Amino acid sequence: MKRIAVLTSGGDAPGMNAAIRAVTRTGIGLGMEVYGVHHGYAGLIQGDLKLLSARDVGDVMQRGGTFLGSARCPEFRTLEGQQKALNRLAEKGIEGLVVIGGNGSQTGAHALSTLGFPVVGIASTIDNDLFGSELTIGVDTALNIALEAIDRLKVTASSHHRAFLVEVMGRDCGYLALMAGIAGGAEVIVIPEFETGPEEIAAQLRAAYERGKAHAIGVVAEGATYNAEKLVHYFQENRERLGFDLRSTTLGHVQRGGTPGAYDRLLATRLGVAAVEHLAKGEHGVLVGLQAGRIVPTPLDIVVSSKKPLDLSLMDMAGILAK
């Protein structure tokens, strides 16, 4: 294999640039030409590809986001759009593709793979909901950003003896909320996989004050049935009966934009190197991810058809520690 391409797709994640760097320099080291695809699958369909040199990926590891860019592309979900993408790759003589992204991105990678094109995926999403990797690129940095926000809000909550909610991202996966809540010492954690009603949340927050705490912090996943906005509204409507209301902070996309930490840079680098090595050996149609400390491949058909489980025993642990 003499010519490959790399693209980033879906939501950006801290560490993506380190993965692009690793793919590019590993490919060049193996005697390949490496093309960067700008703006994800949309750019692939449009033929927005540029040959990358080792210098083009210099000084990018510390930058958040993805310098190749990302974009939604409904057209790529169609067979016609996928065929257009394959035509663009053929025009450039590209023989293999590395796709850096989460569930939607790897679904696209799987589609190209089933059409016979050599593709290797790299697990990258702050949601950490992608099957085939215990941790994905961007998770550690996003978690530390959420943790810093929780620590700061604790100070204000203690000063005013108030209850605060912090809503974190994660779509329908509660990993970020669960881990941020445990690491941040939250009194309440609300995740989609373990639904908690507002009355139970009120009881847990009230119990924190009864135990003599100066603050009460709840960490809420955006995908929970009762997200931060709904909980604040419920508490406002029932303030006289519940005895208190809530303040909330929604972190949103702040969690994606951070400078990648050491862990994400190292993980992204390992995954980038492994992806190119698999292509070079003719091993494709897989996602490379972290499992038990090792970088291992998982077939894309398994990745896109499987749901990654969350260890709900950690909710019991969080409840004990919150006391």
List the domains of the chain with CATH numbers: 3-138+260-305 (3.40.50.450), 141-257 (3.40.50.460)
Q: How far is CA 98 from CA 34, 164, 242, 316, in A?
A: 10, 42, 53, 39
Radius of gyration of the chain (CA): 22
- Is 187 assigned a ligand-binding role in the annotation? yes
CA–CA separation, 16 vs 65, rounded Å?
6
pLDDT tens per residue across span 218-237: 999 999 999 999 998 888 88
237 is in an annotated binding site: no
* pLDDT at residue number 237: 87
In this prediction, residue 323 carries a pLDDT of 81
Q: Do 206 and 243 form a contact (C-beta atoms < 8 A)?
A: yes
Q: CA nearest 85: which of 97, 94, 93, 76?
A: 76
Q: What does the DSSP assignment read for 92-117?
A: TT--EEEEEESHHHHHHHHHHHHTT-
Q: Is 126 annotated as a binding residue?
A: yes
- The pLDDT score that the predictor gives to residue 160 is 64
User: What tokens does 187 get?
Assistant: 């009194």
Q: What is the pLDDT of residue 273?
A: 98
Active-site hit among 12, 48, 59, 127: 127
One-letter amino acid for residue 158 of the chain: S
Q: What is the pTM of this model?
A: 0.93
Distance CA 130, CA 308 (A): 6
Query: Is 172 marked active-site?
Result: no
Which alpha helices (H) appear in the chain, and where do they start and end? Answer: 16-29, 40-46, 79-91, 103-114, 139-160, 175-183, 198-210, 228-237, 239-242, 262-280, 300-305, 313-321
Q: Any binding-site annotation on 214?
A: yes
Q: Is 281 one of the annotated binding-site residues?
A: no
* 102 known member of a binding site: yes
Given a cut of 50, the residues of the chain with pLDDT beneath it are none
Predicted pLDDT of residue 240: 80
Question: What pLDDT shows up at residue 239?
Answer: 82
d(CA 278, CA 296): 10
